[in-house]
Amino acid sequence: MCGIIGYTGSGTGDVLDVLMTGLSGLEYRGYDSAGVAVANSSLEVYKREGEVSALENAVPDSDLDGLAGIGHTRWSTHGPPTDANAHPHTDDDGRVAVVHNGIIENYQALRRELEADGYTFTSDTDTEVVPHLIRSALDSGADRETAFRQAVQRLEGSYAVATVFNGSETVYAARNESPLVLGIGEDGHYLASDVPAFIEFTDRVVYLEDGQFARVNPSGIVVTDDQGAIVETAVETVDWDPEDAGKSGYDHYMLKEIHEQPTAIRKCLRERVTELEGSIDVAELADLEVEGPVQFVACGTSYHAALYGARLLRERGVPAQSFLASEYDVDAVPLPEGSLVVGVTQSGETADTMSALRAANRAGATTLALTNVVGSSAARECDHVMYIRAGPEIGVAATKTFVSQQVALAMLSSVVSGRGSQEFAQQLRALPDQIQQVLDESTAREVAAAYEDADAYFFIGRGYNAPVALEGALKMKEITYNHAEGFAAGELKHGPLALVTDSTPVFALVTEGDDVSKTLGNVKEVEARDAPIVAVTDIPDQVSAYADHVLEVPSSGPRFTPILANIQLQLVAYWIANRLDRSIDKPRNLAKSVTVK
């Protein structure tokens, strides 16, 4: 969940600038605290509770020169967000500094051992055992790289860890079940949790694998295995424009990314959909053969997309189920021969989803990653990968990646079932322009003004609208901090109706091809309890009489109109959060890439 950055350059005076730029690019991964360590003859460490801006204010105005450095932005797991718990952590004498993303499961035993040996701890974190382990190895006569290796080999759990020493221009790093990518630049070399940390400086990357170590200095990058043998690595080029990671004049990344959705969908569809022939051809899936059922594993927003994808497949005669990755159990869920397990994960690093995919691999299933990040763990470890091509998404609340996942899953359903049609292809190709129409004509801002003071928000929908109702509620919760619930429309009367009052607006997704009469029946049930109704619909003439407000969307068939309805719900959540002055891009307690279980 945290973000780490490391840099070593051929020049001087630029280490701190690179670290601060990298932390700004990683702040979506955590913003409870931030810190840097710059190595020269000693280690200069600065860290502060709060966002990166608090750290910027704490660093001296004078140039902080150095040979190498590391930085960290934290999402708290062990201990509250305080200056003491912020990374980097150091040994007692400040000769070793460490940043870490992940969970060290055996840290308590290691801490007891180190305390018994006289090492002093000043934080509540699991990470602080690492610099003390390194120092212990140094005290026993090990050189720096050996000491780092010995320390890492004692860790149990997930980690991406980076270390610098006083007087050294080298950054040492290792990973296990947490992402770490290396960047190769002309004037220096980088490591980070994710590419946005250094995309401004280079687009040439090497993805570190589990169990591998890296030695990064101005001369280059050396990757070794857990035994110290050099590993040949492939250098890849990331197809991201540095400007894609900026706000481009929008007040928030989230609003920018909502408005990027037409472009994201065009990229997702490019060279995959032939409208005239009605064909869908995904090159990455050319050799995919599915003879059994399909199981989706995912978390959060991606799980809602998976629900949508499973329904598409079932409609085409392919048995399909969706599972919360954290609850997936291959011993309890039958995996018939020929099964395909699809991990839906924006980052390709989600810990629960990776755990489920690895379990499916061990059980003999074919695995497919549906992800946004080239070279991510899911992309590398699965048998097949399909990229959603949404580009960088910085806002913690997923928007354009959810829509891109839905569109990619629609194409996947056609490939797996072998059932495409010209109408299906035409509807897909029409989506970008229809999304733009929604963005241009939406009255969501006015709806937000009417209901910003509501006690709670309910979202209901049937069929393909049901996952969108769940996602609409999640967006509302994430960025407004207000209570919101999403339901399949028929479930509202089976208990939740007890919570409905005149201060709980109900957002009803009612679209053509859905069982409109039944959903309108559910609308009447809440209307009878004086709840305000906001209808999201492509058939306003049938629905307006039952609604206090109507958010219109174009008609795009029963499978794709819900995608357009989702855009309206994103905008409502955004504008309510904006009116409430919430931290929209960095909602409290949340982070973008969930790399802990």
pLDDT tens digits for range 473-504: 999 999 999 999 999 988 888 888 878 888 99
The residue-averaged pLDDT of 84-108 equals 92
Segments in 196-350 forming alpha helices (H)? 253-259, 261-269, 300-315
Q: How many helices (H) and strands (E) does the chain have?
A: 17, 26
Q: Which superfamily, per CATH, for 3-244?
A: Aminohydrolase, N-terminal nucleophile (Ntn) domain (3.60.20.10)
Beta pairing partners, 508: 460, 535
Can 247-432 and 442-587 be said to share one CATH topology? Answer: yes
442-587 sits in which CATH class?
Answer: alpha beta
pLDDT tens digits for range 132-170: 999 999 999 999 999 999 999 999 988 999 999 999 999
- Taking the C-alpha atoms of residue 209 and residue 257, their distance in angstroms, rounded to an integer, is 30
For residues 342 and 368, the answer to whether their CB atoms sit within 8 Å is yes
Name the nearest CA neighbour of 174 among 204, 197, 156, 153: 153
- Taking the C-alpha atoms of residue 390 and residue 372, their distance in angstroms, rounded to an integer, is 6
Q: Spell out the domain ranges in the chain.
A: 3-244, 247-432, 442-587
Average model confidence (pLDDT) across the chain: 90
For residues 84 and 74, the answer to whether their CB atoms sit within 8 Å is no
User: What confidence category does residue 61 fall into, taking pLDDT thresholds of 50, 70 and 90?
Assistant: low
C-alpha distances in angstroms, 247 versus 382, 528, 582?
Answer: 33, 44, 17
Return the pLDDT at 11.
57
- Taking the C-alpha atoms of residue 471 and residue 492, their distance in angstroms, rounded to an integer, is 16
- Which H helix or E strand runs over 181? strand 181-184
Return the pLDDT at 595.
53
Return the pLDDT at 241.
66
- Taking the C-alpha atoms of residue 539 and residue 499, their distance in angstroms, rounded to an integer, is 28
- Taking the C-alpha atoms of residue 220 and residue 94, their distance in angstroms, rounded to an integer, is 26
3-state secondary structure 18-73: HHHHHHHHHHHHCCCEEEEEEECCCEEEEEEECCHHHHHHHCCCCCCCCCEEEEEE
- Taking the C-alpha atoms of residue 1 and residue 27, their distance in angstroms, rounded to an integer, is 10
Beta pairing partners, 213: 174, 224
Question: Rounded to two decimals, what is the model's pTM?
Answer: 0.79
Q: What is the token pair recorded at 301?
A: 């927003």
Question: Catalytic site residues?
Answer: 2, 592
pLDDT tens digits for range 434-451: 999 999 999 999 999 999
Longest Cα–Cα distance in the chain: 81
- Taking the C-alpha atoms of residue 344 and residue 502, their distance in angstroms, rounded to an integer, is 38
pLDDT tens digits for range 362-379: 999 999 999 998 888 899
How does strand 236-237 pair with strand 213-217? unpaired
The residue-averaged pLDDT of 542-546 equals 91
pLDDT tens digits for range 396-429: 899 999 999 999 999 999 999 988 788 899 999 9
- Yes or no: is domain 247-432 CATH 3.40.50.10490? yes
- Which H helix or E strand runs over 77? none
Return the pLDDT at 244.
64
279 vs 133: which has the higher pLDDT? 133
Return the pLDDT at 596.
54
